[in-house]
Amino acid sequence: MLKRVFLNVIQKPFQTCVLFFMVFLIGIIGCSGVTLYFAADSTRQETLRQLGAQLMLSGHTEAPTIEWTVGESLGSGISEDTVINIDDLPSKTYPVTEEMIQQIEALPHVQGCEMYLSTVVQPYNCQNVKKYSGYNPEEQNQTATFSEEEITQEKGALTLVGSTRIDLLDEFRRGQNVLTEGSLPSADNPGVLISEELAAQNGLSVGDSIEIAITQPRAQALHTQSKRQSLPVVGIYHTSLYFEVLETNSCGEAIFAASPYNAVFADYGSAFTTIGYTEETYTPSSTTVYVNSPTQLDSVAEQIKAIPIDWEHYTLFNMTQGIYEDSGAQLESISTTALRIVLFSLIAGGILLVLAVSIWNKSNTYETGLLIALGESKPRILLSQLLKVALIVLCAFAAACICSYFLTTFLAQNLEPEFISQSAETSVGAFEDGKMAIAQHLYIQPRPQAFLWMAGLGLLLILLAVSIPATIVMRLRPRSILDKAE
Amino acid sequence: MLSMQKVSFRYGKNTDYVLSGVDADFVPGKFYTVFGPSGSGKTTCLSLLGGLDTPTAGEVLLDGISLRQIGGEELRRKHVSYIFQNYMLFPYMSAVQNVVTAIEISGKGGREAKQEAEKVLLSLGIEEKDMYRKVRKLSGGQQQRVAIARSVATGSRYILADEPTGNLDKKNAQMIIDIFLRLVREQEKCLVVVTHSQQVRDASDIRYELTDGQLSLWGEAAEYAEF
C-alpha cells in the first residue's frame, strides 16, 4: 500500500505540487508566527525577569523644626553662639518596622522585602581587581570633584553592599551573579560574599576574612566613625557581568570600586556595623518589596495599602511601572502581532487546507471505485488516502518549519535594533562612568513543541478533510462509485 | 459455481425492477456472454455477480454460500475479478505495478507477486519493454490485456467482463477473445462477459439474453435446454 501511495503522490505532480505549496505557505506563516510569538514572549519574560517587579515602602523624613520664642529677634543682636546649624538638629524619620515587613511578606505574590545599604570601603588585607574593558581608568583624567584624600583612599576601594535578601538583588535574581562556593550571607550567616576574581587575586577562600573599613570621607558624610571590620568570607560568586570603562569616566582609577568584580555583598547587619551606624544614629526608613510579576504590582500595592499603616507618613512607590511600560510595549506589540498571524494562519489556513484536501481527495473517486472493484477494504482505502495526503503535508510542513526559522531570524534582526535601543535606555545597573551590559535580544529558537502542536492540529484538519469526502464516497453503493469513476 | 437464484433487483423503492426473478448458473471452464439492449440490466447483472450490488430479492450464491455471507470485498479479493470496457487501470502505474497491486490486494504480496505479474503479462502478449511503461502510454489493446492480466493474476476463478472489447478494433478484439478462450480452456476460468459484440458472442460457450428483466438462454444452448 505504501508503494501505491508513494507512486500516487509522485505521479500526480500537479495536484501534489498544489497541495504541497498550499500547506507550505500556510505552514510557513503559521510556524513563523509561532516562532516569533514565542521569541517575543520569551524575551518579554526574560525582560520582566531582569527588570523585576518592585515596590518601595518609604517612611517620610521630616526636616527639623525650630520653635522661636515670641519676641525674639533675628536682628543684629544675636551672637555667634546662638547660631544653630540646622544639620545638627534631629530630623524625624518614620521607620519601616519588622511588623510591617512581616505583614507585607505574608501577602500573595510577594517574594520578599529587602533592605539595602551600600558604600565604598577600603580593604586592608586585599587589593581590588583592576579588570576592565574599554578605556584604561589609570590613564584617564580625574575630573570629578574629589579631594586628593578621597581619590587616594578610593583608588583601591571595594563597594560594600549590605542586604537582608541578597538573593533578591538584581544581579542574583537575573542570574548574572551565581554562588559558586559557600553560602549567601544572611542574619544567621554573617559575613561577606566576594567575586571569584577578587578571591583569586588575593588568595581568599571561604573561611578567610577580609578586613575593610568605610573610607574616611564617606564616614564624615554619613556622620559615622570609620572603624575596621574583619568579616568572614562565607561565599564566592561567579559574575557574568563585565566592566566596561567609558571615555566619559570622570573618576579615574576610583571607578574600579564600581566594578562588578569588586562588589562585596554582606548581610545587612555586617554592613550596618561596618558603615558605623547604630540603632540610635540610623533608622531604616525604606524597604523594597519584590513582587513575582509586574502584572501583580497593582494588586500587591492595593493589598499593602490595606495594611493599617499610618499612610500620612509613608509612601508606596512603584519602582517598575515606567520601565515595564517602556520596555514591554514593543515586545507586547510583537507578540500580539505574532499571535494574530498565528490565529489568522490557523483559521484561514485550516479552511483552505480542508477545501484543498477535499478537492484533492474528490479526484480520487476513480481510484476508490477501482480499489473497491479489486476487493480492497474500505478502511484500507481510507488509510491509503490519508497516507497520501499526510506524506505531502508532512514534507511541506517540514520544509515550512525550516524556512520559517530563517524567515523569523530575518524578521527578528530587523526588529532587534529598535528593541535593543529601548532596553538599553531602561537597562538596570548602568553606571554613570562605566556600564554593565545586560544582554537582551530577540532570541529566535524553533519550538518543537509548538510545531508539533501545529502539526497535530494540521493532521486533525487533514483527517477531517480526507475522511469526510472519502466517507461520503464510500457510503455510496460500489456500483455508483464505479459509474462515477467511469 | 456462481448462481443467481430468483434474483430481483431495483435501484429504489419506487422504481421498476431491472431484474426480476433471474435464475442462472455460471460454472468454471465455461465462457458465458450476456447480451441484450442497452439499459436492459446487463451491467447490473454483472454487479450482482461480483457483489458490487446486493439483490433486492433472491440470492447470489458462490458454491452454495450466499454472497451476503461471504461479503463483497472477500468475494472480489479471492474469487471474482472484473474487466471493464475502459480498462480501469491505475494510469500512473506501469503494467507490472497494476498487476502487482491487484495481487497484493488479494493477499499475495512480496517478490513473487512481481514475478507472477511479469509471467502473466508475458503470457498475454505484453512484451517486456512495455511492462514497465506507464499504462496510459500503452495502446487500447495492450491496456485491456493488462486489465485481463490483473484479473487473472489474482487467481480468481470467475472473471466478469463488461464490454471488454467495446473500445477495441476487430483485430484487437479477436486477440482478447483468444485470450479469454485460453483462460477458459487452459485454466478452467469461468468467464462472464456482458457484450454487444457479435464477435464475442459467437466465441462464447453459453449465451444469455437479457430482456424485460429476465435472463434467458439463447441459441443452441436454449434449444438444448428446451430439449
Same domain membership, residue A331 and residue A205: no
For each of the domains in chain B, give its residue range(s) and CATH number, in order of start: 1-79+156-163+190-227 (3.40.50.300), 81-155 (no CATH)
> Of A367, A369, A374, which has the smallest distance from its Cβ to B76's Cβ?
A374
**A93 inside domain:** no
pLDDT of residue A329: 63
Look up residue A387 and give its amino acid: L
**A82 inside domain:** no
pLDDT of residue A423: 45
Same domain membership, residue A264 and residue A156: yes
Whether the CB of B224 is below 8 Å from some CB of chain A: the reply is no
Whether the CB of A13 is below 8 Å from some CB of chain B: the reply is no
**A interface mutation test: which of B9, B42, B47 has the most A CBs within 10 A?**
B47
Q: In this complex, do A485 and B88 lie within 8 Å of one another by their Cβ atoms? A: yes
pLDDT of residue A76: 52
Per-residue pLDDT band for A116 (boundaries 50, 70, 90) equals very high
Whether pLDDT at B193 is above 50: yes
Whether pLDDT at A362 is above 90: no
Per-residue pLDDT band for A444 (boundaries 50, 70, 90) equals low
pLDDT of residue A106: 95
Count Cβ atoms below 10 Å from residue A124 Cβ, excluding itself.
Answer: 13
Q: In this complex, do B92 and A8 lie within 8 Å of one another by their Cβ atoms? A: yes
Residue range(s) defining the domain that contains residue A443: 2-49+327-485
Please say whether the beta carbons of A324 and A40 come within 8 A.
no
* C-alpha distance from residue B115 to each of A5, B82, B118, B147 (Å): 21, 22, 5, 17
Q: How far apart are CA A186 and CA A267, in angstroms?
A: 5
Same domain membership, residue A275 and residue A399: no
Q: How far apart are CA B112 and CA B152, in angstroms?
A: 15
How many domains, in total, are found in chain A? 2
Last residue of a domain, one of A283, A316, A351: A283
Task: Name the residue of chain A whose CA is nearest to B160's CA.
Answer: A373
Last residue of a domain, one of A229, A249, A283: A283
Residue A132, C-alpha cell as written in the block: 576592565
Q: What residues of chain B lie within 8 A of the CB of A377, using their CB?
A: 73
Whether pLDDT at A424 is above 70: no
Same domain membership, residue A146 and residue A29: no
pLDDT of residue A192: 96
Q: Beta strand B206-211 with B31-35: parallel, antiparallel or unpaired?
A: parallel
Last residue of a domain, one of A283, A298, A317: A283
**A interface mutation test: which of B92, B157, B162 has the most A CBs within 10 A?**
B92
Whether the CB of B94 is below 8 Å from some CB of chain A: the reply is no
Question: Please, what is the average pLDDT of chain A?
Answer: 79
Look up residue B139 and give its amino acid: S
Same domain membership, residue A350 and residue A249: no
In this prediction, residues B88-117 reach a mean pLDDT of 85
> Of A3, A376, A479, which has the smallest distance from its Cβ to B105's Cβ?
A376
Q: How far apart are CA A281 and CA A273, in angstroms?
A: 12
Same domain membership, residue A258 and residue A362: no
**A291 inside domain:** no
Task: Name the residue of chain A whose CA is nearest to B92's CA.
Answer: A11
Same domain membership, residue A464 and residue A342: yes
Per-residue pLDDT tens digits for A447-483: 677 777 777 777 777 777 777 777 776 666 666 656 6
Q: How far apart are CA A120 and CA B170, in angstroms?
A: 111
pLDDT of residue A315: 93
Residues listed for chain B: 227
Lowest mean pLDDT among A273-277, A323-327, A431-435, B18-22: A431-435
Q: How far apart are CA A269 and CA A266, in angstroms?
A: 8
SS (H, E, C) A411-466: HHHHHHHHHHHHHHHHCCCCCCCEECCCCCCCCCCCCHHHHHHHHHHHHHHHHHHH
Question: Please, what is the average pLDDT of chain B?
Answer: 86
Residue B98 C-alpha from the chain's centroid: 17
pLDDT of residue A178: 94
Per-residue pLDDT band for A446 (boundaries 50, 70, 90) equals low
pLDDT of residue A57: 93
Same domain membership, residue A373 and residue A248: no
Q: Which of B78, B101, B106 is nearest to B89 (CA)?
A: B101
DSSP B227: -
Q: In this complex, do B92 and A375 lie within 8 Å of one another by their Cβ atoms? A: no
In this prediction, residues B81-107 reach a mean pLDDT of 86
Whether pLDDT at A297 is above 80: yes
Same domain membership, residue A351 and residue A276: no
Please say whether the beta carbons of B193 and B32 come within 8 A.
yes
Lowest mean pLDDT among A296-300, A339-343, B44-48: A339-343
Q: Which of A354, A337, A327 is nearest to A34 (CA)?
A: A337
Q: Beta strand B2-9 with B19-26: parallel, antiparallel or unpaired?
A: antiparallel
Per-residue pLDDT band for A32 (boundaries 50, 70, 90) equals confident
pLDDT of residue B5: 92
Whether pLDDT at B226 is above 60: no
Whether pLDDT at B225 is above 80: no
Interface confidence, given as ipTM, is 0.82
User: Helical H runs in A79-125?
Assistant: 98-105
Per-residue pLDDT tens digits for A232-279: 999 999 998 888 888 878 778 888 888 999 999 999 999 999 999 988
Whether pLDDT at A437 is above 50: no
> Of B86, B92, B105, which has the smallest distance from its Cβ to A375's Cβ?
B105
**A132 inside domain:** yes
**A109 inside domain:** no
pLDDT of residue A108: 94
What percentage of chain B has pLDDT greater than the value 90? Answer: 15
Same domain membership, residue A354 and residue A276: no
> Of B73, B84, B90, which has the smallest distance from its Cβ to A375's Cβ?
B73
Q: What residues of chain A lie within 8 A of the CB of B107, using their CB?
A: none
Residue A67, C-alpha cell as written in the block: 520653635
**A315 inside domain:** no
Main-chain phi, psi angles of B40, to 5 degrees: -80, -15
**A256 inside domain:** yes
pLDDT of residue A89: 60
With cell 484561514, the residue in question is A348
In this prediction, residues A317-342 reach a mean pLDDT of 73
Contacts of B185 (CB under 8 A, 6+ apart): B29
**A209 inside domain:** yes
Cβ density class B177-204: b for 16+ within 10 Å, e for less:
bebbeebbeeeebbbbbbbebeebbebb
Same domain membership, residue A142 and residue A6: no
In this prediction, residues B123-135 reach a mean pLDDT of 87
Q: In this complex, do B101 and A374 lie within 8 Å of one another by their Cβ atoms? A: yes
Residue A235, C-alpha cell as written in the block: 561565599
Q: What residues of chain B lie within 8 A of the CB of A4, using their CB?
A: 90, 93, 101
Q: What residues of chain A lie within 8 A of the CB of B12, using their CB?
A: none
Please say whether the beta carbons of B99 and B120 come within 8 A.
yes
Per-residue pLDDT band for A415 (boundaries 50, 70, 90) equals low
| Whole-prediction pTM | 0.58
In this prediction, residues B155-177 reach a mean pLDDT of 84
Per-residue pLDDT tens digits for A70-106: 545 555 555 555 555 555 666 778 999 999 999 999 9
Same domain membership, residue A340 and residue A446: yes
Q: What residues of chain B lie within 8 A of the CB of A374, using their CB?
A: 76-77, 81-82, 101-102, 105-106, 150, 154
Q: How far apart are CA B188 and CA B156, in angstroms?
A: 10
Look up residue A228 and give its amino acid: R
Residue ranges of A 338-397 with Cβ closer than 8 A to chain B: 367, 369-378
Distance of residue B177 Cα from the nearest chain A Cα, in angstroms: 22
